[in-house]
A and B are shown apart, each in its own frame.
Chain A
């Protein structure tokens, strides 16, 4: 049972069998999604996995080839306007009317959304994303990071219940990424919004999300609670040693050989629990093998790295 289900059980996004084909290319294949109220839901996958296509279908930008989308318990197809009124979104890179100011962009998009577009409200939004000082500047003078923050402001101008963010930290420097993450956490924890966060960076999802799904080639691969997925599995641990043959012979004589995966150059790779790392390290050192580094990689991370590199 998910965090969201445990908290209150109200399903915000319910996607069943979602498929999108572009000619012979299957961009999204029979995808199911369940996002619950209050979730920060990580939608993870490498570039080209089908994340943006899925998000575009959730926002009625493109039509599914098959499958159903229910948001707030209603069919998106039949209740598009009602549903979109309750959603704020950034889809891929944030684009605006470059010849208009940040203020005017927010005013226009707010008016279309039926939002309060008083000066107070718009400035409040710009303040939230740290752009109040540039309210009257034309967006064409903005850096990518500033546009990204303005993107968040436009997504929030009508006070939506569900915020869909597609790669909101893409192209940002580490400081910018942290700022965006802080805003997302503020929206979730302080404002109680449900967040659907798409990313190709596992670390980002780990820092923010409560639940997640990994998709690749349009298909769901792993789904569940972030903490459970990242910590319940065994780690893949690489020991770098000075004498690979001596170390290899040493573990061959012990029960550690059950954990052994591979050896390469001066590295031995094991699959093991985190708590067992010190014992193996000690065993090697006490038997005269110098260990210069121990690098643990969580299996999910390892799996994600593999699919990111195209080896699924």
Chain B
């Protein structure tokens, strides 16, 4: 039954216009970044390696699909959560707003099955949005700009051999799935509490923005709070582009995020199981 419910939830999600806002946004923004880099990419490389070109000789294709995908991921990663909450915030509250809780909950399925199916459908939507991002940012960029070494700058210049890059991207996207699922779980949690989808969407965005601001303010007391904010751990996808990779850091962040996902799912379930359907 749970598979039937998940497939039904997915068919409902993908029949809604708002579902495609995320796909359209990524579909529009990614080519813009690609075009901009296509036109000015060399300047970007020159800027990155200013001062080094006099000392070292760089050969090969440094301006390639991997670099473009990396730039896109860095640029869009902070904004994708806002696309995720559009669907996550609607998953439960949307039923209340439409009055369809009544036809759904009076069916011979348990509330636990309903909420679990909705949560799984939300994860599948999140993954599909990230797959769309992978297709446009990585695959299309590799097709347009070709392969090569990946050059990154994080206090020091790091150049990864071309055969050492793809797995890092796959791990980074895998981590991104965990990060974005956390965002989806947060909006899902808010969605379980109210009867209008706007509230959870705005609340989720507000939480993310506030946490990001708190993380960014260089005041000691706020920096002590930083490890406890899930947004701090969300950006650890970038850890796969370190050399060497701080596995302990990456794994602990992944565990923190998975803990958030589990906790938010359990809280949402608890609320939904006890909820009086009055809409």
* Interfacial residues of chain A within 131-165, with CB under 8 A of chain B in the complex: 154, 158
Known A-B contacts A95-B98, A98-B98, A108-B11; the reply to A89 vs B106 at CB < 8 A is yes
- Contacting pair A112 B100 (CB below 8 A): no
A46 to B276 Cα, complex, angstroms: 23
CB–CB B106/A96 < 8 A: no
Contacts of B124 in A (CB 8 A): none
B114, closest chain A residue (CB): A112
Q: Is A60 interfacial (CB 8 A cutoff)? A: yes
Cβ–Cβ contact A92 & B98, under 8 A? no
The total of chain A residues at the interface (CB under 8 A) is 31
Chain B residues near A62: list those with CB within 8 A: 276-278
Point out the residues of chain A lying under 8 angstroms from B11, CB to CB. Answer: 108
A47 within 8 A of B: no
Which of A56, A84, A91 meets B108, CB within 8 Å? A84
The reply to whether B106 and A59 contact each other, CB–CB distance below 8 Å, is: yes
Residues A109 and B103 in contact, CB atoms below 8 Å apart: yes
Within the complex, which residue of A84, A85, A98, A108 is in contact with B8, where a contact is CB–CB below 8 Å? A108
Cα separation A251 to B6 with both chains bound (whole Å): 76
Q: Chain A nearest CB: distance from B7 CB in Å?
A: 9
Q: Which residues of A contact B108 (CB under 8 A)?
A: 81-82, 84-85, 112-114, 158
CB closest chain-B residue, reference A89: B106
Question: Interface digits, B251-279 against A, CB 8 Å rule (1 contact, 0 not)?
Answer: 00000000000000000000000101110
Chain A residues lying within 8 Å of B12, measured Cβ to Cβ, are 97, 100, 108
Q: Among B106, B110, B276, point to the contact of A91 (Cβ < 8 A).
A: B106
Q: Measured between alpha carbons, how far is A114 from B104 in the docked complex, in Å?
A: 13
B109 / chain A contacts, CB cutoff of 8 Å = 81, 112
Q: How far is the CA of A100 from the CA of B9 in the complex (A)?
A: 13
Which of B5, B100, B276 contacts A95, CB < 8 Å?
B100
Interface string of B89-101 (1 = CB under 8 A from A): 0000000001111
Which A-chain residue is minimally distant from B9 (CB atoms)? A108
Contact with B along A58-99 (1 / 0, CB 8 A): 011111000000000000000011101101010111011111
Report the bound CA distance from A92 to B278 in whole Å: 11
Instruction: Give Cα distance in the complex from A277 to B63, angstroms.
Output: 102
Residue of B nearest to A84 (CB): B108
Asked whether, in the complex, the Cβ of A112 is within 8 Å of the Cβ of B99, the reply is: no
Contact at B106–A84, with CB atoms within 8 Å? yes
Contact of A61 among B17, B98, B106, B274 (CB under 8 A): B106
Q: How far is the CA of A158 from the CA of B99 in the complex (A)?
A: 21
Q: Is A246 an interface residue (CB 8 A)?
A: no
Residues on the A chain within 8 Å of B107, using CB: 84, 109, 112-113
Q: Determine if B16 is an interface residue (Cβ-Cβ < 8 Å).
A: yes
A134 to B265, CA, bound (A): 39
Q: What CA separation (Å) do A108 and B103 show in the bound complex?
A: 11
Q: Mark B11-37, 1 if CB is under 8 A from A, else 0.
A: 110011100000000000000000000
Q: How far is the CA of A109 from the CA of B16 in the complex (A)?
A: 17
In the assembled complex, the CB of A81 is this many whole angstroms from the nearest CB of chain B, namely 5
Task: Confirm or deny: A111 has a beta carbon within 8 angstroms of a beta carbon on chain B.
Answer: yes
* With A61-B276, A61-B277, A99-B16 as contacts: A80 and B110 at CB distance below 8 Å: yes
B173 to chain A, nearest CB (A): 31
Can you list 15 pairs linking A and B with CB atoms under 8 Å apart? Answer: A56-B278, A59-B105, A60-B106, A61-B101, A63-B276, A80-B110, A95-B103, A97-B98, A99-B17, A111-B4, A111-B8, A112-B5, A112-B104, A112-B107, A113-B107
B residues near A (Cβ < 8 Å) are 4-5, 8, 11-12, 15-17, 98-110, 274, 276-278
- Chain A residues within 8 Å of B, Cβ to Cβ: 56, 59-63, 80-82, 84-85, 87, 89, 91-93, 95-100, 104, 108-109, 111-114, 154, 158
By Cβ-Cβ distance, the 4 closest A-B pairs, closest first, are: A95-B99, A85-B108, A62-B276, A61-B277
**10 additional A-B residue pairs with CB within 8 Å, beyond A61-B106, A97-B12:** A60-B106, A61-B105, A62-B276, A80-B110, A95-B103, A104-B15, A109-B103, A109-B107, A112-B107, A112-B108
